[in-house]
Structure 1
Amino acid sequence: MRVIGLTGGVGAGKSLVLSILNNEYNAQVIKADEVARELMEQGREGYELITKALGENILKPDGSIDRQILSKCIFQDDRIRKAVDGIIHPLVWKFIKGKISSSQEKLIVVEFAIMGEKADIGYDEMWYVYASEQVRIRRLFENRGYEKEHSERIMASQAAESEYLARCDRVIRNDGSIEEIRNQLAQILNNRGQRES
């Protein structure tokens, strides 16, 4: 089993890289953001802790957490972001570690956006998906409807590129074509016999 941690800033194109790894290399993909979302559903531990910390003003009429309101709070107030991160991240990493322990897959890729997270996952390698700030802002506008200022606030809350580069073993450049990404992944993985036939 090979476990890869895949990270990169918002809008870098991690989802495209994950899609290629899943579809062409049969990788089991675990997305930390999706795990966090699950853990914040009603009845789950994350939901209880977040609503206790932030109050009911972040809830929709049906009682579920309003993701847009929560996102706005997180990226406008650093104290709220740190409080939410302190609650959710330990739950996420515990869940992911259990999922890896029970997996029989040859290749597992764990995707996350925040470098400062303390996760004793035991990655074999860390990969950084890179795209220029200009490309990321354009993608966030086209794909998520984010205004430039909102995208810049999110980017400012994430690790600096130098931190990603210092902690990662490989860089996947994702500001070119899909074929260029495929070629980079093939160069990295085919040498280790990871492609499934």
Structure 2
Amino acid sequence: MYKVIGLTGGIASGKSTASDYIRSLGFEVLDADVYARKVTERDSAGYHKIIEAFGTDILDGNKEIDRRKLGEIIFNDPEERKKLNSISHPEIRRMMNADQDEFVKQNHVFLDIPLLFENGLDKKCDITITVYVTKENQLERLMVRNELSEKDAVSRVNSQMSLDEKKNLSDYVFDNNNDQKELYEQIDKFVEMLKNHQL
């Protein structure tokens, strides 16, 4: 019986690095962000609903949704964030569930979901994992990666459930405070246990 494994983290915690590595080991990793982009693709049902809710100011010159403009609105306003989530989440879930049901017939499936616990999706997983870094490291990495001021970085990090909270809710934690090699070693160990039915 194959397992559904929820993988989460926070902005700049290294979740994508972990996902990419897990994928390279031959597992399907269904990435909620990829589905979220599909929801905002031009002329999709989600696209029209989002424009209806947020207006045409969020479009770029090609009439595509400018994710940066939309991000600026939702990161600073919990109500606006709620509004976007109520449009996009049901659609993302529907697409992910369909793919998950297919892939889990052949192998363990990882779900890369930033809002795993916030949306109660951990209940649909057999195992949950958080990619963890301290808040100091998270802010530092985010400022460097996205060229953000400290104020903007803090606002983005604070718009999410804290990694300490996610860590406490998870079955497993991949600690990513050190180098990539150490992260990969933790993943290898987890995958070994998974293959040997020790989980």
With structure 2 as the length reference, what TM-score do the two structures score? 0.90
* CA deviations over 1:67-92 (Å, ceiling 9, x no partner): 11100000122211110011111111
What is the CA-CA distance between 1:172 and the residue it aligns to?
0.6
CA RMSD of aligned residues (A): 1.7
Distance 2:122 2:44 in 1: 23
Alignment of 1:58-73 (within 5 A): 58-73=58-73
Alignment of 1:33-182 (within 5 A): 33-103=33-103, 104-114=105-115, 115-119=117-121, 122-182=124-184
Percent of counterpart pairs with the same letter? 25
Distance 1:165 1:70 in 2: 29
Closer, same or farther in 2 for the Cα pair 1:90/1:111, shift >3 Å? same
What is the CA-CA distance between 1:166 and the residue it aligns to?
3.6
Closer, same or farther in 2 for the Cα pair 1:93/1:117, shift >3 Å? same
With structure 1 as the length reference, what TM-score do the two structures score? 0.91
What is the CA-CA distance between 1:121 and the residue it aligns to?
7.2
Closer, same or farther in 2 for the Cα pair 1:48/1:121, shift >3 Å? farther
* CA deviations over 1:86-127 (Å, ceiling 9, x no partner): 111111111100111122441221112123114387311110
More displaced, 177-186 or 92-101? 177-186
Aligned partner of 2:51: which letter?
T
> Which residue of 2 is the match for residue 20 of structure 1?
21
Distance 1:119 1:136 in 2: 24
Aligned partner of 1:179: which letter?
K
Closer, same or farther in 2 for the Cα pair 1:95/1:121, shift >3 Å? farther
2:130–2:166 contact (8 Å) kept in structure 1: yes
Distance 1:177 1:119 in 2: 29
What is the CA-CA distance between 1:28 and the residue it aligns to?
0.8
Q: Following TM superposition, where does structure 1 have runs of at least 4 consecutive aligned residues deviating by more than 3 angstroms?
A: 118-121
Aligned partner of 2:178: which letter?
G
Aligned partner of 1:95: which letter?
M
Closer, same or farther in 2 for the Cα pair 1:152/1:120, shift >3 Å? closer
Distance 2:63 2:89 in 1: 22
Report SS of the residue matched to 2:13. coil
More displaced, 101-110 or 130-139? 101-110
Distance 1:158 1:170 in 2: 20
Closer, same or farther in 2 for the Cα pair 1:13/1:176, shift >3 Å? same
Report SS of the residue matched to 1:20. helix
Aligned partner of 1:14: which letter?
K
Gaps of 5+ in 1: none
Aligned partner of 2:161: which letter?
A
Gaps of 5+ in 2: none
What is the CA-CA distance between 1:12 and the residue it aligns to?
0.4
